[in-house]
Amino acid sequence: MKIGVVTFPGSNCDMDMVHALRDDLGFDVVQLWHKDRDLQGADAVVLPGGFSYGDYLRSGAIARFSPIMSEIVSFANRGGRVLGICNGFQILCEAGLLPGALLHNEHRKFICENVNLRPVSRAACLTRELDPAQHLTIPIAHGEGNFFISEDGLKRLEDTDGILFQYADAEGQVNRWANPNGSTNNIAGVANERMNVFGMMPHPERATSEHLGNTDGVGILRGLAMMVEA
């Protein structure tokens, strides 16, 4: 199993992801540069968090035009598995590979804290092995994580089982008090209709080590590999 991790100018979570996938989970990892035009045989690709191109225009808007994104779009259209985390999620939405958009947090402040997630989708391999009754504690760190989607788009997500995670309280209940950024329907992650492209704002790669006291992200990242092997 080979997983490619892309680095854009301004990425700052790429090595976190490489370490989590390679050292904590034992996958073969290849590091990809934003100017590459070859995915080097990767079975899945991860777009990590950070501030690609400084987020000078809009988060993910410039990175969407990086040379490697043409390869990633083609890869996804052929059924290849792609996961975007935080800024990577924003890039995938900008590229049209995922529905919706990421707006400024409704209180206009950067958030860096642990949140509780409730796994939702039973169709996505990223979440189908996770217990929906067992919430996960995963870190977030973003200023533009307010997921917005139209009513029609939300209905399509619900009809296709495309909601991966929702923000929840300490008891695993989804409510407005547990929503850290104002996201539509407490959505923290989504999948496309083909169930091969995924995006989420929380950082599972920061929750894969017993040394850090949190391994709740292990099942999420393993789900990507399970999906590829299925």
Q: From the candidates 71, 94, 144, 205, give the one annotated as an active-site residue.
A: 205
Selecting among 13, 86, 93, 125, the annotated active-site residue is 86
Cα end-to-end distance, the chain, whole Å: 12
Angle 221-156-135 (CA atoms, 0-180°, nearest 5)? 35
Active site residue 210: no
> Which residue among the candidates 34, 135, 142, 203 is catalytic per the annotation?
203
How many helices and strands in the chain, by DSSP H and E?
Answer: 5, 11
The three-point CA angle 154-159-163 to 5° equals 60
Distance CA 52, CA 45 (A): 17
Is 135 a residue of the active site? Answer: no
- For residue 146 the two structure tokens come to 């307010």
Q: Which amino acid is at 101?
A: A
Whether 79 and 45 have beta carbons less than 8 Å apart is answered as no
Residues serving a catalytic function are 86, 203, 205
